[in-house]
Amino acid sequence: MEHSENLFRLGTESAFEVLARAQALSSKGKNIINLGIGQPDFKTADHIVEAAIKALKDGHHGYTPANGILPLREAVSEDLYFRHRARISPDNIIIMPGGKPTMFFSILMFGGPNTEIMYPNPGFPIYESVINYSGSKAVPIKLEEDLNFSFKAENVLNKISDKTRLIIINSPGNPTGGVIPRQEIEILTAGLENFPKVTILSDEIYSRMLYDGRKHISLLEFPNIRNRLIVLDGWSKTYAMTGWRLGFSVWPDQLLEYATRLCVNNHSCVNAPTQYAGIAALKGPQDVVNSMLNEFEQRRKFIVDALNELPGVYCKEPGGAFYVFPNIIKTGLSSQKAQDDLLEMAGVATIAGTSFGEMGEGFLRFSYANSLENIEEAINRIKKIID
């Protein structure tokens, strides 16, 4: 078989591999606490589930338009206005099967030999994987622990070359929980005026998950880059709907037709009942989101304090998402070794920082999308093996 060379360059998301290893250990009778996977440990709210059931009973079994049903795109448009005061026409919104297809399509649109794409490192591993797959050079934007896992906008602007086609930004970020401060976003968006050919993909999948009263700053709030901005968001994290596969993206006019064609070529449309569930999520009561966030906020405080008490571990308090990214350099363990030891010896699944790029060496990602009791038990087990 002589398949495409590109396949050799495709990476993966280790969280799924760790999940498989954790499940294999569980099936052998080992008790595993999973702080590896990035999905809320809450159930999708009943009114959302009911809306999908009703849609099926009402006969919504067929294809929908490739860009999604109009009432859902209208609901997204209203939500974006409510949250960011951004006036986005439903025509510029495409409903996607989750958040990932938007990054895949955007990177494929701009990637190719002799081009560069900038991406956060440590960052969501699919960025680097698909950039490499596309044939572009992946140029890391280093997220600095000292800057609470953000960056100095000047450094990003300085790295833009005449080969740069796309810059990927992710705030709040996976795996660090870092939030890019408004000041840096302002400098970045203003500086981008000097690079009118560069497109921006802003991954805002954690846009509702901020703590200590922080407010999400969407790149949609900056009209000067709107004509070359793609925004990725969705229901997976906010409404505990990871398995439904429902996301949306905002596209500039120039890319809209191409993005829709990629949908037609790839998946035709998102399944109809899920789209009706999406309307119920946006238009229904938001107390489910708020109570989930309150719970996450308590766990964040607990896990940060508990990790900071472990010898050799130092953990910043992240501003968003549901991850902490402690520095373990002083333990003398590599990230991979720490991940393996914690899984094998303590029965605690975490993800090595290096799964998120080489700049994640010396860190581990813990997801606190697990109960407070389990997090407490996990920390106790880690303490025991350290002792």
What are the residues binding ligand PLP (CB under 6 A)? 38, 98-100, 124, 170, 174, 203, 205, 234, 236, 242, 247
CA 160 to each of CA 18, 62, 115, 259: distance values in angstroms, whole numbers, following the listed order? 35, 45, 11, 25
For ligand PLP, give the closer residue by CB, 199 or 331.
Answer: 199
For ligand PLP, give the closer residue by CB, 130 or 382.
Answer: 130
What is the distance between the alpha carbons of residues 139 and 244, in angstroms, rounded to a whole number? 32
For ligand PLP, give the closer residue by CB, 263 or 346.
Answer: 263
For ligand PLP, give the closer residue by CB, 80 or 103.
Answer: 103
The least distance separating ligand PLP from the CB of residue 349, rounded to whole angstroms, comes to 15
What is the distance between the alpha carbons of residues 285 and 61, in angstroms, rounded to a whole number? 26
The least distance separating ligand PLP from the CB of residue 232, rounded to whole angstroms, comes to 7
Please report how many Cα atoms fall inside a 13 Å half-sphere around the Cα of residue 384, on the Cβ side.
11
The least distance separating ligand PLP from the CB of residue 11, rounded to whole angstroms, comes to 15
Q: Residues 6 or more apart from 203 whose CB is under 8 A from it?
A: 99, 103, 124, 168, 169, 170, 232
For ligand PLP, give the closer residue by CB, 100 or 165.
Answer: 100
How far is CA 117 from its chain centroid?
18
The least distance separating ligand PLP from the CB of residue 100, rounded to whole angstroms, comes to 4
The least distance separating ligand PLP from the CB of residue 19, rounded to whole angstroms, comes to 12
For ligand PLP, give the closer residue by CB, 247 or 278.
Answer: 247
The least distance separating ligand PLP from the CB of residue 38, rounded to whole angstroms, comes to 4
What is the distance between the alpha carbons of residues 101 and 93, in angstroms, rounded to a whole number? 14
Tokens of residue 121, six digits: 């490192």
- Angle among Cα 109, 112, 116 to the nearest 5 degrees reads 95
Q: Residues 6 or more apart from 163 whose CB is under 8 A from it?
A: 114, 115, 116, 137
